[in-house]
Amino acid sequence: MKRTIKFTIPEEFDGKKVIAYLRGEAKISARLLKSLKRIENGITLNGGHIRTIDILHTGDELKIEIPCPGSGIEPMNIPIDVIYEDDDLIAVNKSPFLACHPTHNHQGDTLANALAYHLKSEGKQSVFRAVGRLDKGTSGIVICALNKHSAAKIPKTAEKEYLAVVSGKTDKCGTIDKPIYRPDPMKTLRAVGEQGDRAVTHWETLATDGEKSLVRVWLETGRTHQIRVHFASTGMPLVGDSMYGTDEMNLGHQLLHCAKVSFVHPVTGERMTLEAPMPEDMKKIADSLKKVGDTVEADN
């Protein structure tokens, strides 16, 4: 299968080279452009063969065809909540009980398996390219790019917003700026330590009952387990997080949810914002907390 993208050359690119448009205006990565040049009809102009050094004219139709190979992952009929889909990406509100991709402990019960089944049922196929994976136990929006072009462009403009329920009463807002490292390379556990990589987490409190608090979180960096490690380091681990705290409520997962993702569409150039509701157990706990009033902007 292939993803075909067509461009009509505007007046400002009249007389310029094909490569100038593809790299400058269409934002095609150097890596993808190199692979397209090796493919028959990977790049065509007005239906015919073209070199990247050839000259464009106003109104020309430039076309690229991006191969979309299968993932090799076994399709499994696992229910998923698709919140957006087109020819370039698919966004899912992931369950906290679903791992993103196959691992030693999860071979056929992952989001990758579910998406392979979903795409197959629509006569499509794609390598599993999650744009920012979520831990098993974390719910919310996962965007999967359906071709190399989308996979290269979406991460550059994506902005995420999380909701978390943490133990204790939080301040109105704050920033946690502590480096994170991996104490044991054989384990997934992370910890705060000066030998680690810089990690910065911003948050604001939305509601609290004095024992638990609902916070909105956004990140400057994207370290593994960053939100979980940072709040645990302040003595306020996420509710339900048995790795960095306790799961006294027997929830079976940490109350962390990717609620909003904003990004520029890789083909249309439109700024898109996707939102996804919390899972029912998290929503029930969040709704029981007393709102602190209008949200405030935390320090950046």
The pLDDT of residue 216 is 98
Q: Do 233 and 163 reside in the same domain of the chain?
A: yes
Q: Do 94 and 23 reside in the same domain of the chain?
A: no
Examine the fold and report which residue of 112, 134, 153 is the final residue of a domain before the chain moves on. 153
- Average pLDDT in the 248-275 region? 96
Residue 294 pLDDT > 80: no
Q: Do 178 and 248 reside in the same domain of the chain?
A: yes
Task: Report if residue 296 sits inside a domain.
Answer: no
Residue 180 pLDDT > 70: yes
Task: Report if residue 49 sits inside a domain.
Answer: yes
State the total domains in the chain: 3
Q: Do 252 and 184 reside in the same domain of the chain?
A: yes
What CATH code is carried by the domain that includes residue 62?
3.10.290.10
Give the least confident one: 5-9, 50-54, 107-111.
107-111
Task: Report if residue 300 sits inside a domain.
Answer: no
Q: Known catalytic residues?
A: 135
Instruction: Write the pLDDT tens digit of every residue in 60-78.
Output: 999 998 887 766 788 899 9
Q: Do 187 and 266 reside in the same domain of the chain?
A: yes
d(CA 203, CA 184): 28
Give the per-residue SS3 of the chain. CEEEEEEECCHHHCCCEHHHHHHHHCCCCHHHHHHHHHCCCCEEECCEECCCCCECCCCCEEEEEEECCCCCCCCCCCCCEEEEECCCEEEEEECCCCECCCCCCCCCCEHHHHHHHHHHHCCCCCCCEEECCCCCCCEEEEEEECCHHHHHHHHHHCEEEEEEEEECCCCCEEEEECCEECCCCCCCCCEECCCCECCEEEEEEEEECCCEEEEEEEECCCCCCHHHHHHHHCCCCECCCCCCCCCCCCCCCCCEEEEEEEEECCCCCCEEEEECCCCHHHHHHHHCCEECCCCCCCCC
What CATH code is carried by the domain that includes residue 162?
3.30.2350.10
Structural domain that includes position 35: 2-67
Q: Do 136 and 166 reside in the same domain of the chain?
A: no
Task: Report if residue 297 sits inside a domain.
Answer: no
Strands 61-67 and 173-177, how do they pair?
A: unpaired
Task: Report if residue 262 sits inside a domain.
Answer: yes
Q: pTM for this structure?
A: 0.82
Q: Do 100 and 124 reside in the same domain of the chain?
A: yes
Q: Do 33 and 108 reside in the same domain of the chain?
A: no
The pLDDT of residue 71 is 65
Q: Do 32 and 149 reside in the same domain of the chain?
A: no
Instruction: Write the pLDDT tens digit of every residue in 226-258.
Output: 999 999 999 999 999 999 999 989 999 999 999
pLDDT band at 298 (very low <50, low <70, confident <90, very high): very low
